[in-house]
């Protein structure tokens, strides 16, 4: 069983009632829709190498945000993981940790997205 399949099982068991439609599993990603309109794409290359991207509607427009571990922002306290805001800024990741399990990181993110898809970072 690969990591995306394991995550699909975890998400279905933990958040099944909050999913809108069936999640889509592809060769390199898992895509799902939450019942609040968030579209989330999950990519794990390894347990500590991931890209979690989502879109949602905010103030009448489509907003895209994401968390990943590309080592491109060495000055951030959470390096290598960081949060890409809708306005293009990268900030310290408030949710995931590279030493946490993928299921724990994904649970933390989905719980936060269900509360506020912009993670309390309003549109500029």
Structure tokens given for 104: 């724990």
**Residue 61: is its pLDDT beyond 90?**
no
What does the domain layout of the chain look like in residue ranges? 3-35+55-114
CB 90 within 8 A of CB 76: yes
Structure confidence by residue, pLDDT tens digits, 65-89: 999 999 999 999 999 999 999 999 9
Average pLDDT, the chain: 94
Structural Rg of the chain based on CA atoms: 14
Give the pLDDT confidence score for residue 58 in this predicted structure: 80
CB 19 within 8 A of CB 39: no
Q: Which pLDDT band, with edges at 50, 70 and 90, does 123 fall under?
A: low
């Amino acid at each position: 069983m690969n990591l995306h399949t394991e995550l699909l099982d975890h998400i279905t068991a933990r958040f099944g009632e909050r999913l809108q439609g069936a999640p889509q599993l592809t060769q390199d990603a898992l895509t799902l829709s939450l019942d609040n309109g968030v579209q989330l794409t999950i990519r794990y290359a390894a347990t500590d190498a991931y890209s979690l991207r989502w879109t949602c509607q905010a103030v009448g427009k489509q907003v895209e945000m994401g968390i990943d571990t590309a080592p491109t922002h060495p000055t951030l306290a959470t390096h290598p993981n960081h949060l890409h805001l809708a306005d293009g800024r990268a900030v310290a990741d408030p949710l995931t940790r590279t030493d946490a399990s993928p299921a724990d990181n994904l649970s933390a993110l989905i719980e936060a997205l269900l509360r506020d898809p912009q993670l309390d970072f309003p549109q500029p």
